[in-house]
A and B are shown apart, each in its own frame.
Chain A
């Protein structure tokens, strides 16, 4: 292998002010600044059932060394959260179309759930998202997986060890009807203890998510060995193809 690989620190689970539960500090310039200050070179923007702030963060990161991947944290009908990551914003938007049609029409009540802001690259207010995002789409896990797979994306059950919206709590165990080679564990679980506590994780590629709702949670637990900081390279690393790899720094 002549290509030279190098480590890239990555945080694949980042919320912005579009997620009702995120702090108001989660605006594009501050996310970019904080990630870079922490030596993180790749982030994925993964708002709850939403994609409207991805481009703003990408613009804020232009002319910096931070790569911003397009993603979403989907809540499927089982009340399970999964990271859905895509090669481009366009593909993420295509997926958004399916999700939006599958969301119940419930109006957000900011005083109870928090504000849902769409902002520009400077963090300036553009609009409020009126539809409540912290709800389950009427898409089953296997339906969502198929849509993401058809769009060339990565489907990663999120914080599987967490009591709230984690797969193990809600579904008992990883389902066998879809391939789930990659699974995210939360910041609360040491990766060395993961397989002991959840034997079904053996043989799966684990990533660890900061699930950043505030700046200090931009953790960057994942160290990817890649030729370049791109979605395609990350996909290879997760499949352990062409010597690419990822390891968790707890």
Chain B
């Protein structure tokens, strides 16, 4: 499944400049609001679901080459964060839905994967 299909199904609002989403195939999904855990646990190219909208999320996404960050519950990153994401080519999306629903829908769409084991 590609990112465009995810965006359409979940009615995600792009916060960053649109890219060719259909050409991006996420590897996996990950949900956490603790950035230290994301850095240690999220797979490369995965979609990260969080309500953390702090600018540090962009650096984490760059580090892991994430396919997208879905920011939940309507949390709004500031303009500096969005500008940074554009600069780094990171896809940021917003949704008013809570993380639980977003993850459930991603799973239903077929985004299943083997998570790396975290100690």
The yes or no verdict on A and B being binding partners is: yes
Chain A positions within 8 Å of B, measured between CB atoms, are 77-79, 140-142, 168-173, 175-177
Within 8 A of A (CB), among B44-62: 52-56, 59-60
Q: Which 6 A-B pairs have the closest CB atoms?
A: A172-B35, A171-B56, A172-B36, A169-B36, A78-B54, A171-B35
Are A169 and B54 in touch, CB under 8 angstroms?
no
- Counting chain A CB atoms within 10 Å of each CB, the highest count among B36, B38, B59 belongs to B36
What residues of chain B lie closer than 8 Å to A171, measured between beta carbons?
Answer: 35, 52, 54, 56
Contact B56 A173 (CB under 8 A): yes
Residues of chain A within 8 A of B55, CB atoms compared: 142, 175-177
Whether the pair B80, A177 counts as a contact (CB closer than 8 A) is: yes
List of A residues within 8 angstroms of B52 by Cβ: 78, 170-171
CB distance from A170 to the nearest CB of B (A): 6
Q: Assess whether B39 is interfacial by the CB under 8 Å rule.
A: yes
On whether A170 and B80 interact (CB within 8 A), knowing A78-B52, A78-B54, A175-B55, the answer reads no
* Chain B residue nearest to A178 in the complex (CB): B55
Asked if B33 lies at the interface with its beta carbon under 8 angstroms from chain A, I say yes
Contact residues in B for A78 (Cβ distance below 8 Å): 52, 54
Contact in complex: B80, A172 (CB < 8 Å): no
Q: Which B residues form the contact surface with A (CB < 8 A)?
A: 33-36, 38-39, 52-56, 59-60, 78, 80
Complex CA gap A177/B53 in Å reads 14
Bound Cα distance A79, B50 (Å): 13
Distance of B23 from chain A, by nearest CB (Å): 29
CA distance A172 to B36 in the complex (A): 4
Identify the closest chain A residue to B80 (Cβ): A177
Contact A173–B54 (Cβ < 8 Å): no
> A78-B54, A171-B52 are known contacts; what are 19 more A-B pairs with Cβ within 8 Å?
A77-B53, A140-B53, A140-B78, A141-B54, A142-B80, A168-B36, A169-B36, A170-B36, A170-B52, A171-B54, A171-B56, A172-B36, A172-B38, A172-B56, A172-B59, A173-B56, A173-B59, A175-B55, A175-B56
**Could you tell me if B34 and A170 are in contact, using CB atoms closer than 8 angstroms?**
yes
5 contacts between A and B (CB under 8 A): A142-B55, A142-B78, A169-B36, A170-B36, A172-B35
Checking A140, A169, A173 against B34 with a beta-carbon cut-off of 8 angstroms, the contacting residue is A169
Evaluate contact between A172 and B39: CB separation under 8 angstroms.
yes
Nearest-CB residue, chain B, relative to A80? B54
* Interchain nearest-CB distance for A109 vs B (Å): 23
Minimum CB–CB distance for A168 against chain B, Å:
6
Assembly CA distance A171 to B59 (angstroms): 10
Q: How far is the CB of A9 from chain B (nearest CB, A)?
A: 33
Given the complex, which residues of B lie within 8 Å of A175, measured CB to CB? 54-56
How far in angstroms is the closest Cβ of chain A from B69? 13
Q: Write out the residue numbers on chain A whose beta carbons fall within 8 Å of the beta carbon of B38.
A: 172
